[in-house]
Amino acid sequence: MVNLGEVEIRGIDLSVQTAWQWHSDWLVSTRLSYTYQKAQDFTNPTDEFYGGQIPYIPWHSGSAVINLNYRNWEANYSFIYTGERYSSQANLPVNYQLPWYTSDFSVARTINLFSSELKLTLEVNNLFNQQYEVVICYPMPGINFKAVAQYIF
């Protein structure tokens, strides 16, 4: 990693959150967010790469989460998107990083146990098995599964 002397970041953060209640049993809540960032390195005006987008900051990124609740059941789908980036402030084709996006899906059931709650969740992450790296040369997991038991007391 490298420390940069002076940078300027301009952008927009947007997010929308909604919830719908249908009868008394169904609850759908969603959250959408989007960020635009123009993050530039202004350390050295004589540098050939002055003004380049700083390493690993995407111009566009966002996420979408949908949550569905029915009595003791819960289903969740979340989508994360990171747009194209460069791994160096030298924004050259050799440093270009493809956009990546993952879909995670989970189903959970809450059970009342001894006057407290036990929540069992089954997750499928990176549903479409996308091969990606957040930092170059460190591959991220492909499709993976998790079973979670959570007891709150």
Tell which positions 48-67 bind another protein, by CB under 8 A: 48-49, 64, 66
Does 118 sit near another protein (CB under 8 A)? no
Residues facing residue 62 across a β-bridge: 34, 81
Is residue 111 classed exposed, middle or buried when 0-12, 13-18 and 19+ CB atoms within 10 A define those classes?
Answer: exposed
CA atoms within 13 A on the CB side of 73: 7
Sites for another protein among residues 76-115 (CB under 8 A): 79, 81, 87-90, 92-94, 96, 98-101
56 versus 117: smaller Cβ distance to another protein: 56
Q: Which of 10, 45, 116, 137 binds another protein (CB under 8 A)?
A: 137
Q: Which residue from 125, 49, 116 is spatially nearest to 88, judged by alpha carbons?
A: 49
In this complex, which beta carbon is closest to another protein, that of residue 73 or of residue 96? 96
Task: Annotate each residue in 19-38 with x if it binds another protein (CB under 8 A) or - if it does not, as one string.
Answer: -x-x---x-x-x--------
Q: How do beta strands 144-152 and 85-86 pair?
A: unpaired
What are the strands of the beta sheet with 100-113, ordered from one edge? 7-22, 26-41, 60-70, 73-82, 100-113, 116-125, 144-152
Q: How far is the CB of 150 from another protein (least distance, A)?
A: 27
CA-nearest of 102, 60, 103, 63 to 84 is 60
* C-beta closer to another protein: residue 108 or 132: 132
Residue 1 beta carbon to another protein: minimum distance, rounded to whole angstroms: 9
Residues near another protein (CB under 8 A): 2, 20, 22, 26, 28, 30, 47-49, 64, 66, 79, 81, 87-90, 92-94, 96, 98-101, 130, 136-137
